[in-house]
Each structure stands twice: as C-alpha cells, then as structure tokens.
Amino acid sequence: MLFRTIPKIISGELRVPDAEIIVEDDLDELLKIIKSALDSLYINEAYLIEQEVHERSLVFRFGLYFYKRLEKLQNFSKLDLDIEYNRDLVSSANKDPKRTYEHPNGIFPDLILHKRGNNNNNILVLEFKTQWSKEKNFQDLDKLKELTSPNQKYHYTLGISIVLGKKRDKCNFVYVRDGEISESHLVLNKGDL
C-alpha cells in the first residue's frame, strides 16, 4: 500500500488528523516515475527541446507522461495532477489563490500532485526551468521552501526544482523537504534522480 493513514506529527502537534501521509518508499516510487517521465520527454519531445521552447510547453508534455505513469498506481491515481494551479480551494466558496508569506498576492506552482479541496494530501510540487532561459531557479527554490515548510499551511511532502538541459543527462535537480534543501536527496548534476 502506498499510503498509510496515521496522524502526522510536526513539532509535537498533530498537523492533520487522520491524514494520509506519504512514506519514504512512496517518495522513491515517485522519483522513479519522474525519471521515467523525463526520459519520455527527452525521447519524444526532442524537437521542442532543440527549439528551446518555453518551459510551460515542456512542463505540459512532462505532465502528460507523468500522469500516464501515475494512473497505473492505484493510490497515486486517486490524486490530482495540476499545472500552474493557483487556488487554495479548501471549500467550494473559497476562490482565493495559494498564498505564502513571501508571495502574498498568490503563487503558481508549475506542477503539483495533491488532492483538490483540502491541504491534507499535498504530496509533490515541481518547479521547472530550462538552461536556455535567462531566469534562474532561485525564486523557484524559495517557492519550494515555502510550499514544503511545516510553518506554512500547504505542507507539501516533497518539492523538486528541475532545470532541464539540452540533453537528458544535463538536467539538474534540487530536492526540498520541510522547508529546507534536503540532505537525503542531494543536488544531482548528472541528469539522474
């Protein structure tokens, strides 16, 4: 079973009663799915990469490959995969954007794996950049730190900054957990997760 239903404890306090939390084996499975989706992106979308298209085009294509793999796993398939999802829809009446301390006007994560309608199952947040873009991923890392922080309301289990290279083995990855760059998943520069 991919998820275990137990209370999640943060700083001695119950965060979300009876929330499903992701365990380390599940994170490893997600990393394998991300790797496979990236492989497919580089194999099937070489033209887009060669043309140095905008990251949104590549995130969309990556999302298709990623979702196709998630569907095959029963518990992951129950989650929602969204691109540039900016709503904090705890209730159907709430149409407010996702906000953080550093982004009080709203935040637009590139891709998230979550369950819409609550913040109990915010599993994965991905931010993408391309090596050919003038933009750097510093703001993305700050965003991931906020979205994974136990001091914020979203509490994503894992955030990953992915900088897409012209070749698959030139991708760079930075993992963020609990609001910090993760020591258990170091920055990898050889294109491997």
Strand pairing report for 9-10 and 158-164: unpaired
pLDDT at 176 (0 to 100):
95
User: Which residue has 């935040």 as its token pair?
Assistant: 107
Task: Write the DSSP symbol of residue 167.
Answer: S
| Domains present along the chain, CATH in parentheses | 23-181 (3.90.1570)
pLDDT at site 178: 93
Question: Does 12 or 26 have the greater pLDDT score?
Answer: 26
What pLDDT score does 65 carry?
97
H helix runs in the chain, sequence order: 24-44, 46-50, 55-70, 74-77, 138-148
Asked if residues 49 and 42 have their Cβ atoms less than 8 Å apart, the reply is yes
pLDDT at 186: 44
Confidence band (pLDDT; 50, 70, 90) for 135?
Answer: confident
Would you state the pLDDT for residue 193? 53
pLDDT mean over 49-78: 93
pLDDT at 105: 72
> What's the pLDDT tens digit per position in 18-62?
345 556 778 888 899 999 999 999 999 999 999 999 999 999 999
Give the pLDDT confidence of 91-116 residue by residue, as tens digits. Answer: 455 666 666 667 667 678 999 999 88
- At 162, give phi and psi (nearest 5°): -120, 120
* Confidence (pTM): 0.81
